[in-house]
């Protein structure tokens, strides 16, 4: 329970359905508080002190037990450290996906079993269904297309999905808020958390500087011919497709198209140079099938907010896949996830290792 409207109504619906419900909030406060002496409270957004207090009050209103579970160590190891390391490798991470896999349906599921709970339930807008013909648990899109969160759940295993309940999978956000209002729960108007919960003030640059002992050095910004156009503050502070904040005067818009880590260079180009039709993804997790043996046609998303696109996924001998899009995609970004859909079903997904432009890689 995050103290927000989604997890609140999730708990209510489960209790109404006859489940024995235990409310739990993850204590994931940054253990190195000395690095952020000016952070108000202990966290922002869904992890803040006020949200924990809200969750406790809601649990009391619903008449369910409430626990605050200490998951600081796994959160630090699996999410925060990953977040920093990816940026230091000039990759753009998605910590929410790792949090779902490693913490909410990892460490928290372990705690739940200790409490003899059979399921973990969250306020995600997604669906899980068991399909006997395949003998597999399927992850499906939430019915509310504007709120669908299946993308950030793609890395869950069959075991994790078998212990997952998503009561809001068939709901619309406006109906969830109305239900909270009808129940007299003040969280019905509570705004959604949009920022990374462990980054104070959404200032990820300061956060990285406070933790990094290496890998952040100023360098040159160059074009594809190697001509120096300006200076950058450190590779971790830039991402593929970025246009603003480059400090360049070239007479035309320029975008980050790649990085040269060995020479500490940010490479820029024009809008067309940001687009690519192919990518390589590794650490692939298949949900609807056990393994991919031949090319398949899918709809693929390269970011949670990106419009899905027609693509062909081809397996390689090392477990990675090559994804070829029917039309060029803008800002294929190493470190982000690519998720494959067949209708409403999440076939699987993986982590973007590199984009292929022509036969050049970046």
Residue 251 is part of a domain; what is its CATH number?
A: 2.30.30.280
Q: Which of 147, 167, 202 is the last residue of a domain?
A: 202
Tell whether 354 and 236 lie within a shared domain: no
Query: Which has the higher per-residue pLDDT, 30 or 322?
Result: 322
Q: Which of 143, 177, 202 is the last residue of a domain?
A: 202
C-alpha–C-alpha distance, residues 223 and 256, integer Å: 9
Of 19-28, 37-46, 95-104, 231-240, which gets the smallest average pLDDT?
A: 37-46
Give the mean pLDDT of the chain: 90
pLDDT higher than 80, residue 33: no
Instruction: Report the pLDDT value the prediction gives residue 36, as an integer from 0 to 100.
Output: 44
Of the chain, the percentage scoring pLDDT greater than 90 comes to 78
Tell whether 231 and 351 lie within a shared domain: no
Task: Give residue 358's pLDDT band: very low, low, confident or very high (50, 70, 90).
Answer: low
Instruction: Report the pLDDT value the prediction gives residue 28, as an integer from 0 to 100.
Output: 85
Q: Is 99 among the residues known to form the active site?
A: yes
Q: Which of 202, 227, 256 is the last residue of a domain?
A: 202
Terminal CA-CA length for the chain? 40
C-alpha–C-alpha distance, residues 170 and 148, integer Å: 10
Instruction: Report the pLDDT value the prediction gives residue 38, as an integer from 0 to 100.
Output: 39
Instruction: Report the pLDDT value the prediction gives residue 250, as an integer from 0 to 100.
Output: 81
Tell whether 234 and 144 lie within a shared domain: no
Tell whether 131 and 225 lie within a shared domain: no
Kindly state whether residue 258 falls inside one of the protein's structural domains: yes
Work out the burial of residue 179: count CB atoms within 10 Å of its CB; fewer than 13 is exposed, 13-18 middle, 19 or more buried. Answer: middle
Tell whether 43 and 72 lie within a shared domain: yes
Task: Give residue 96's pLDDT band: very low, low, confident or very high (50, 70, 90).
Answer: very high
Tell whether 58 and 95 lie within a shared domain: yes
Q: Is 84 among the residues known to form the active site?
A: no
Exactly one of 47, 96, 197, 275 is catalytic; name it. 197
Q: What is the pLDDT of residues 60-91, one digit of tens each?
A: 999 999 999 999 999 999 999 999 999 999 99
Exactly one of 47, 84, 99, 275 is catalytic; name it. 99
Tell whether 263 and 301 lie within a shared domain: no
Tell whether 169 and 253 lie within a shared domain: no
Q: What is the pLDDT of residues 294-349, one digit of tens each?
A: 999 999 999 998 999 999 999 998 889 999 999 999 999 999 999 999 999 999 99
Kindly state whether residue 209 falls inside one of the protein's structural domains: no
Question: Which pTM value belongs to this model?
Answer: 0.90
Tell whether 226 and 86 lie within a shared domain: no
pLDDT higher than 80, residue 275: yes
Of 27-41, 111-125, 305-319, which gets the smallest average pLDDT?
A: 27-41
Locate 315 and state its tokens: 């397996």
| C-beta of residue 320 within 8 angstroms of C-beta of residue 280 | yes
Tell whether 29 and 154 lie within a shared domain: yes
Instruction: Report the pLDDT value the prediction gives residue 361, as an integer from 0 to 100.
Output: 44
pLDDT higher than 60, residue 41: no
CA 126 to chain centroid, in Å, comes to: 14
Tell whether 115 and 27 lie within a shared domain: yes
Residue 154 is part of a domain; what is its CATH number?
A: 3.40.50.620
Residue 309 is part of a domain; what is its CATH number?
A: 2.40.30.10
How many structural domains is the chain composed of? 3
Residue 354: domain span: 275-361
Kindly state whether residue 80 falls inside one of the protein's structural domains: yes
Q: What is the pLDDT of residues 130-180, one digit of tens each?
A: 999 999 999 999 999 999 999 999 999 999 999 999 999 999 999 999 999
Tell whether 129 and 60 lie within a shared domain: yes
pLDDT higher than 90, residue 244: yes
Give the 3-state secondary structure of the chain.
CCCCHHHHHHHHHHHHCCCCCCEEEEECCCCCHHHCCCCCCCCCHHHCHHHHHHHHHHHHHHCCCEEEEECHHHHHHHHHHHHHHHHHCCCCCCHHHHHHHHHHHHHHHHHHHHCCCCCEECCCCEEEEEECCCCEEEEEECCCCCCCCHHHHCCCCHHHHHCEECCCCCCCHHHHHHHHHHCCCHHHHCCCCCCCCCCHHHCHHHHHHHHCCCCCCCEEEECCCCCEEEEECCHHHCCCCCCCCCCCCCCCCCEEEEEECCCCEEEEECHHHHEEEEEEEEEEEECCCCCCCCCEEEEEECCCCCCCEEEEEEECCCCCEEEEEEEEEECCCCCCEEEEEECCEEEEEEEEEEEEECCEEC
Neighbouring CB atoms inside 10 A of 156's CB total 25
Helix axes 173-182, 5-16, angle to 10 degrees: 70
Instruction: Report the pLDDT value the prediction gives residue 47, as an integer from 0 to 100.
Output: 56
């Amino acid at each position: 329970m995050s103290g927000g409207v989604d997890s609140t109504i999730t708990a209510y619906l489960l209790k109404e359905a006859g489940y024995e419900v235990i409310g739990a909030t993850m204590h994931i406060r940054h253990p190195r508080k000395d690095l952020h002496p000016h952070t108000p409270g202990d966290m922002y957004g869904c992890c803040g002190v006020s949200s924990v207090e809200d969750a406790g009050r809601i649990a009391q209103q619903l008449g369910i037990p409430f626990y605050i579970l200490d998951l600081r160590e796994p959160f630090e190891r699996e999410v925060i450290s990953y977040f920093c390391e990816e940026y230091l490798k000039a990759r753009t991470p998605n910590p929410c996906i790792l949090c779902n896999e490693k913490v909410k349906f990892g460490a928290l599921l372990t705690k739940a079993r200790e409490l003899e709970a059979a399921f973990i339930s969250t306020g995600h807008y997604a669906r899980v269904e068991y399909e006997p013909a395949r003998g597999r648990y399927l992850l499906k899109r939430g019915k509310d297309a504007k709120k669908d969160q299946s993308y950030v759940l793609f890395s869950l295993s069959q075991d994790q999905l078998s212990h997952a309940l998503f009561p809001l999978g068939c709901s619309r956000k406006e109906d969830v808020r109305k239900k909270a209002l009808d129940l007299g729960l003040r969280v019905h108007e509570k705004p959604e958390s949009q920022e990374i919960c462990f980054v104070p003030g959404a200032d990820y640059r300061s956060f990285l500087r406070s933790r990094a002992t290496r890998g952040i050095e100023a360098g040159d910004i160059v074009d594809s011919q190697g001509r120096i156009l300006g200076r950058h503050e450190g590779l971790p502070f830039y991402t593929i497709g970025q246009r603003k904040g480059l400090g360049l005067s070239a007479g035309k818009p320029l975008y980050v198209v790649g990085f040269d880590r060995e020479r500490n260079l940010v490479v820029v180009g024009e809008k067309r140079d940001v687009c690519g039709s192919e990518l390589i993804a590794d650490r692939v997790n298949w949900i609807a099938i056990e393994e991919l043996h031949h090319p398949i046609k899918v709809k693929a998303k390269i970011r949670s907010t990106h419009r899905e696109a027609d693509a062909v996924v081809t397996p390689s001998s090392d477990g990675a896949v090559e994804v070829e899009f029917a039309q060029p995609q803008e800002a294929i970004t190493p470190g982000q996830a690519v998720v494959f859909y067949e209708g409403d079903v999440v076939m699987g997904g993986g982590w973007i290792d590199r984009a292929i432009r022509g036969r050049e890689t970046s």
